[in-house]
Amino acid sequence: SSMFPDVPVFPVLGDDDLVPSSVYPGGAGSAKWLLAKAAALWEKWLPASALVTLQWGGYYTVMAPTGTRVVVLNTAVCDIQNMHNFIDGGASARTQLSWLQSVLTGARAAREPCLITGHIPPGVYSGCWGNYSAAYEELLSQYTDVVIGQLFGHQHSGSFRLLRSPSTTTTPAYGLAYVTPSLTAFRDQNPSFRLYQLSHGPVMVSDVEQYNLHL
């Protein structure tokens, strides 16, 4: 806030924001202690409407000053290391996907480009369990005219994921999810960060710059 006072910030929950790591209880309201704290810390950046769903399920949407709708997901509901995702049968994940569909439908009607971000990328290799990932990829295949980009992290190394529906290697890709590297040197990797540039007319991710600190 002090160094970049005029830069919008859209925080995202990660698996290591939980105690113990990757343990996010299923069901609405069961992680109230965490989500209430997140809302209190992030209320300086987010409008009241975003704080409502943040405290409910850890996800929210907000309109950026550029006219792009930012959609922030809580990927703890698909973390393959989170046993609660298997205990509750994926109920939390389905609730979030239903919310996401309603947001994308509304954005299409309002002609709002959407930028989706979350912590764990889709795909079992990325750490997102298969049923949720397949449902997510199927859903987004229906909104290629709305979603202009997908930004994730978690893997610590910079890469990307091709999205297909159905999620098989023989299906042509319809989208791309960027996986941003981390600032930590976890697993002997150099600290890195990325800058994504959005073009206008049409709005889309037009360029990526990645910076590394060679240790």
Dmax (CA) for the chain in angstroms is: 49
- Beta pairing, strands 159-164 & 147-152: unpaired
Average pLDDT, the chain: 87
Euclidean distance between CA atoms 100 and 86, whole angstroms: 21
What is the pLDDT averaged over residues 120-135? 83
Instruction: Report the percent of the chain where pLDDT is more than 70.
Output: 92
Euclidean distance between CA atoms 110 and 212, whole angstroms: 39
pTM for this entry: 0.90
Give tens-digit pLDDT for 52-75. 999 989 999 999 998 999 999 999
pLDDT band, very low/low/confident/very high, at 168 (cuts 50, 70, 90): low
Higher pLDDT among residues 88 and 17, named by residue? 17
Taking the CB of residue 171, how many other CB atoms lie within 10 A of it?
Answer: 14
